[in-house]
Amino acid sequence: MGKKYREFIDIVDVNGHPTFNLLMPTDDAEDDSAANRAASRSRRQTYPISFELLALALLQFISFRQVAAELSVPLSVVRNWRLLAFMDARRAQERALTCTHMITYLKLNHKDWIQASFAKRNGYTHQQACMSKRVITYLESTRAAFARTFHVTHGSVADNCVYNVDDTGIQFDIPPRYIWAKKGGNTKLSKGEKHSYRMTAVLTIRRDGLKLPILFIIKGEPGGLIEKSEFKTYPSGHYYAFQKKAVWTHRGPKASHC
CB 189 within 8 A of CB 95: yes
Do 170 and 83 reside in the same domain of the chain? no
Query: What pLDDT score was predicted for residue 243?
Result: 81
CB 57 within 8 A of CB 78: no
Query: What pLDDT score was predicted for residue 204?
Result: 93
φ, ψ (nearest 5 deg) of residue 21: -110, 140
Per-state percent for the chain, helix, strand, coil, to nearest 5: 40, 20, 40
Query: What pLDDT score was predicted for residue 6?
Result: 42
Ramachandran quadrant class, 130 (left: phi over 0; alpha: psi -120 to 50; beta: rest): beta
Residue type (1 letter), 196: S
Going by their DSSP bridges, the two strands 255-257 and 18-26 should be labelled as: unpaired
The answer to whether residue 10 sits within a structural domain is yes
Give the residue among 246, 223, 244, 226 at the shortest CA–CA distance from 236: 226
The answer to whether residue 146 sits within a structural domain is no
The answer to whether residue 251 sits within a structural domain is yes
3-class state of residue 154 by DSSP: helix
The answer to whether residue 128 sits within a structural domain is no
Query: What pLDDT score was predicted for residue 22?
Result: 41
CB 30 within 8 A of CB 5: yes
CB 81 within 8 A of CB 52: yes
Count of domains in the chain?
Answer: 2
The answer to whether residue 43 sits within a structural domain is yes
Could you give the CA distance from residue 13 to residue 72 in angstroms, rounded to a whole number? 11
In sequence order, which ranges of 16-74 are alpha helices (DSSP H)?
Answer: 34-42, 49-58, 64-71
Could you give the CA distance from residue 168 to residue 152 in angstroms, rounded to a whole number? 29
Could you give the CA distance from residue 85 to residue 105 in angstroms, rounded to a whole number? 11
Q: Which domain holds residue 187?
A: 160-257
The answer to whether residue 103 sits within a structural domain is no
Could you give the CA distance from residue 24 to residue 126 in angstroms, rounded to a whole number? 52
Give the residue among 34, 47, 100 at the shortest CA–CA distance from 78: 47
pLDDT tens series, the chain, 258 aa: 444 434 444 444 445 555 444 444 444 444 555 555 555 555 667 777 777 778 777 777 777 778 888 888 887 777 777 777 777 777 777 777 777 787 888 788 778 878 888 888 888 777 777 666 667 777 788 889 998 998 888 788 888 888 889 988 887 766 667 777 777 777 777 665 555 677 888 999 998 899 999 988 887 777 777 665 666 677 788 888 888 777 776 555 555 554
Could you give the CA distance from residue 197 to residue 192 in angstroms, rounded to a whole number? 10
Domain edge (last residue) among 61, 93, 125: 93
Could you give the CA distance from residue 168 to residue 135 in angstroms, rounded to a whole number? 26
Query: What pLDDT score was predicted for residue 213?
Result: 92
Do 170 and 253 reside in the same domain of the chain? yes
The strands making up 215-219's β-sheet, listed across from edge to edge, are 163-172, 197-206, 215-219, 239-243, 255-257
The answer to whether residue 129 sits within a structural domain is no
The answer to whether residue 118 sits within a structural domain is no
